[in-house]
Amino acid sequence: MTGDLILDVSDLKVHFPVRMGSGLRPNTVPLKAVDGISFVLHAGETLGIVGESGCGKSTLGRAILSLVRPTSGHIAWLGEELTHMEKRALRDKRKDLQLVFQDPLASLNPRMTIGEIIAEPLRSFSPERTSADRGRMVRDMMSRVGLSPQMTNRYPHEFSGGQCQRISIARAMILAPRLVVLDEPVSALDVSIQAQIINLLKDLQADYGLSYIFISHDLSVVRHMCDRVLIMYLGQVVEQAPVHTLFERPAHPYTINLIQAVPIPDPVKERAKQGPVLMGDPPSPLDPPSGCRFHPRCLRAEATCKTRAPVLETVGTGHEAACFRWRESL
Amino acid sequence: MTQKEMASDEDIANGAHGLADAPERRRLHISPLNQRRLHNFKKNKRGVWSLWIFLILFFISLFAEFIANDKPLVVSFEGGFYFPVFAAYPETAFGGDFPTEADYRDPFVQELIEKEGGWVLWPPIHYSYQTINLDPPTPAPSPPSSENWLGTDDQSRDVLARLIYGFRISVLFGLTLTIFSTFVGVAAGAVQGYFGGWVDLLFQRFIEIWTSIPQLYLIIIIAAVIEPNFWILLFILLLFSWVALVGVVRAEFLRARNFEYVMAARAMGVGNTKIMVRHLLPNAMVATLTFIPFILNGSITTLTSLDFLGFGLPPGSPSLGELLKQGKDNLQAPWLGVTAFMTIAVMLSLLVFVGEAVRDAFDPRKN
């Protein structure tokens, strides 16, 4: 299934300066949205990035596409460093790197027809094409994603959420990219529409040999969609594993909690569910806890967890976890 | 189930009528939102009437040369037709003595023409803005009479003729200044709002300093150094008037630059200029359009005040401000002050009424 290495992210950090206090000299505190993340991605692979709201998933996705400038670290795309690339060269790379947003309607300009919206990447990357040529490509792509090609002259507000997401996907796919970052592409949709969009994405991946980075907080969707999963907590990776390993033998207590929290569609089983429940909210990323960032919510936390930060350790093949006591999970 | 099958049940409902109405969409392209705005504007009777009155007055004033002129529209002389409004004919053409252009108001020239059975078709007002009535009934300024409908000014020139020409130049100047300030202001606001950060910070401080300069004094100083004509005056006023729109446009761009579709456009490699024009500018257009009638008003007022102070258009130009000044200097001749005041008051009121109607039409809270 997986091919060559296409993306290599190492020790990526994205910090946003946040002004605290007031007065003449407010001090600036860094908000560490992404704090030292490394991973690799192969051609044709789907990597899931999972975590609670505010853990930095979307920032990570945007940093990979150079939409936000990383504070430090490296992003190597096909062996070329993106972080310090010149604007013009970077623009060329954008042809291969595309993005689908969470909110389908907000990501489409309400004043453009969907024909114009889908054609926009073509206009910006291959202006030499005639408009008839572009029109044909747009109509082909529309029928490919399950939209009627007659609808090119309509505006986004005339479409349902699922259709808008199809438009977004068509726009991302029209340049035949190699990597698409899907930033919670189905979380705003009904469950039945979610399934349609997921299947569409899988079909497109099979046809074009795409790689996906699939950002989500919904583990059941991730399980269906991804080959490998990265679990994030407060800007850091706590566990990464192939999808089956992750669901069968999760090593990090946070992952165990997350999997535990997935609802079972059977009220009897759901009520009989046992095991730890994740308490409280994630702490503020402005003031992360000392040592292991998960320790205030962890049932297994001990004295060392409060003082020392665990690093990712190899648990099994392709399976890493950042916990001192991962052995107890297996 | 395959993706195609699943897609179909969602799309069938919309797809069916999409086939029916898709082709006709492009032809009459007024979005429902704009239709509602147009409807709101039309509902404001005062605004619509003001717009029509203003447009008619402006349209008439565009043909000032055919309404108030010291040259006839048509002269028939010895079987030939002459059009003195368009071309200059020497007096010798009509059998006179001088090779200079004929003065058709001169009884001698009129006699020459009529002697040969010719006739003269005059505009309704026999005076241009600089024609001097050489034979006024009283010393200038002389009161309204059948010859000078609104009297003459202190140089014995016809007030009505000067009014028509002055109205035209005021409106044209105001419109030109408005167009230029809109372009500059929108561009400046767009750059500030889109790039934000240091660009915005420095630019805003610059504008604060710039607007705190007492403009009228500076304009007076510049006008005292270089003799202003229409275009120089326009440039000087533009130096200060462009800031009017920067604030609103900047705010709209700051708000919209983080919209997801703008980020999507950046991810697709669309250039900054294109993003600004295609994705962000439409958001700022409502605020801009709402402001334009008021900027036009302000431009006309500024020109009038400069003319009133004597630092505006070159001496001799027809201007409402200059007429106002004459009214102030000649309180014994109230027709000067009253005429200028009424004209300015009516013109500015009409524009304000139009502006209010436009503003209300764009107000999203009205329906």
More confident residue, B219 or B57: B57
Residue percentage of chain B with pLDDT more than 90: 28
Task: Report the chain B residue with the minimal C-alpha distance to residue A127.
Answer: B270
- Average pLDDT across chain B, whole number: 84
How many Å apart are CA A43 and CA A208, to the nearest integer? 11
Which residues of chain A neighbour B265 with C-beta distances below 8 Å?
109, 120
pLDDT at A48: 93
A103 touches B: beta carbon within 8 Å: yes
Report the residue of A58, A97, A193, A196 to disrupt the B interface, i.e. the one with the largest count of B CBs within 10 Å. Answer: A196
- Average pLDDT across chain A, whole number: 86
Q: A302-321 pLDDT, tens per residue?
A: 888 888 888 888 888 889 99
Biggest distance spanned by C-alpha atoms of chain A: 68
Predicted TM-score (pTM) of the model is: 0.75
How many Å apart are CA B38 and CA B36, to the nearest integer? 5
Q: A232-265 pLDDT, tens per residue?
A: 998 889 999 999 999 988 888 888 888 888 888 8
Residues A1, A104, A111: CA angle, nearest 5 degrees = 130
pLDDT at A23: 66
**B11 to chain A nearest CA, in Å?**
7
Q: Is a pLDDT exceeding 80 seen at residue B2? A: no
Report the residue of B5, B19, B260 to disrupt the A interface, i.e. the one with the largest count of A CBs within 10 Å. Answer: B260
Q: Is a pLDDT exceeding 80 seen at residue A330? A: no
Q: A130-163 pLDDT, tens per residue?
A: 888 888 999 999 999 989 988 888 888 888 888 9
Residue of A154, A115, A158, A153 lying closest to A137 (CA atoms): A115
Residue percentage of chain A with pLDDT more than 70: 96
Which residues of chain B neighbour A163 with C-beta distances below 8 Å?
10-11, 14
Residue of B56, B73, B119, B96 lying closest to B347 (CA atoms): B56
* Confidence bin at A276 (pLDDT 50/70/90): low
How many Å apart are CA A42 and CA A95, to the nearest integer? 18
What is the value of ipTM here, to two decimals? 0.78
Q: B259-289 pLDDT, tens per residue?
A: 888 888 888 888 888 889 888 888 888 888 8
How many Å apart are CA A255 and CA A233, to the nearest integer? 10
pLDDT at A24: 67
- B76: enclosing H helix or E strand: strand B74-77
* Interchain CB distance below 8 Å, A159 and B26: no
Rounded alpha-carbon distances, angstroms, from residue A196 to A145, A177, A203, B11, B212 = 10, 21, 11, 12, 60
pLDDT at B29: 67
* Interchain CB distance below 8 Å, B10 and A162: yes
**B219 to chain A nearest CA, in Å?**
38
pLDDT at B10: 42
Strands of chain A (E only): list them: 5-20, 27-42, 46-50, 72-77, 80-81, 97-100, 179-183, 211-216, 228-233, 236-242, 313-316, 319-321
Task: Report the chain A residue with the minimal C-alpha distance to residue B4.
Answer: A146
Q: How far is CA A94 from the centre of its chain?
A: 17
Residue type, A11: D
